[in-house]
Amino acid sequence: MSDKVFSIAIDGPAGAGKSTIAKALARELDAMYLDTGAMYRAIGLDLSRNGLDLSDAASVAAAVGNVDIDVRYEDGTQHIYLGNEDVSRAIREPEVSMAASAVSAVPEVRERMVALQRKIAEGQNVVMDGRDIGTKVLPNATLKVYLTASAEERARRRCLELKEKGMEEPFDKVLQEMIQRDYQDTHRAASPLCQAEDAKLVDTSDLTLEASVEAIRALALEAIQARS
């Protein structure tokens, strides 16, 4: 293999399995994993704790520079800090999903996050997941994947994930929120979620987790080997 670094960009809507698959892939390829959604979640959490109206883009833009956000790796696992507080669990609360989606529509938030994401990944083999990784953060990624699944399947998976974390929610509520969040994420003006022209589409609706990881690992190995 070449000694050049590789980067794998995985984008797609909520609940498509991006983080589970990206994490497994990073482990297998001995690469760093960066969950960029966690960063928008931390901004949303911080600003909503401070009582900001997240639909007011000007206030969000003015406040984002003051958020003391840090991404740290502890035993190979990504943790997100706000000041000295590890918020890695708090950002998974269901209401933080909508807060993250709202703040992520604000260009000043995106500028700060994209710069931080590029800095963290610089010079390393990386698997990054999010909404704009292939289109904006890593336009020259070695491999770009657009991961999707039906809304019902994604909501079913999200319900299971929340249950495992002791944060159970009704299926219909999860489905409705997911549809609304996808709408917001695909219709915002700044870097909306979309499939990059050169991304491979992988629909995991009928795939097990293992089969999804296997499919993407095959694409990744092929792309890594094909590098000039």
Judged by CB under 6 A, the residue of 6, 26, 33, 41 near ligand DC is 41
CB of 133 to ligand DC, least distance (A): 6
Rg (CA), the chain: 17
| Cβ(68)–Cβ(83) below 8 Å | yes
Judged by CB under 6 A, the residue of 131, 144, 157, 158 near ligand DC is 131
Which residues, including other chains, have CB under 8 Å from residue 131's CB and lie 6 or more apart?
11, 12, 36, 37, 104, 185, 191, 192, 193
Nearer to ligand DC, 17 or 37 (CB): 37
Contacts with ligand DC, 3-32, as mask; x by CB under 6 A: -----------x------------------
Judged by CB under 6 A, the residue of 7, 104, 142, 204 near ligand DC is 104
Which residues, including other chains, have CB under 8 Å from residue 189's CB and lie 6 or more apart?
105, 107
Tokens of 4: 């050049």
190: which DSSP letter?
S
Nearer to ligand DC, 57 or 221 (CB): 57
Distance CA 209, CA 21 (A): 7
CB of 15 to ligand DC, least distance (A): 8
Sole window of 94-102, 145-153, 172-180, 203-211 interacting with ligand DC (rule: CB under 6 A): 94-102
Check residue 177 for interaction with ligand DC (CB under 6 A): no
CB of 226 to ligand DC, least distance (A): 25
Would you tell me the crossing angle of helices 107-121 and 36-49 to the nearest 10 degrees?
140
Nearer to ligand DC, 128 or 224 (CB): 128
Distance CA 83, CA 50 (A): 14
For ligand DC, the binding residues (CB under 6 A) are 14, 36-37, 40-41, 97, 100-101, 104, 130-133, 181, 185
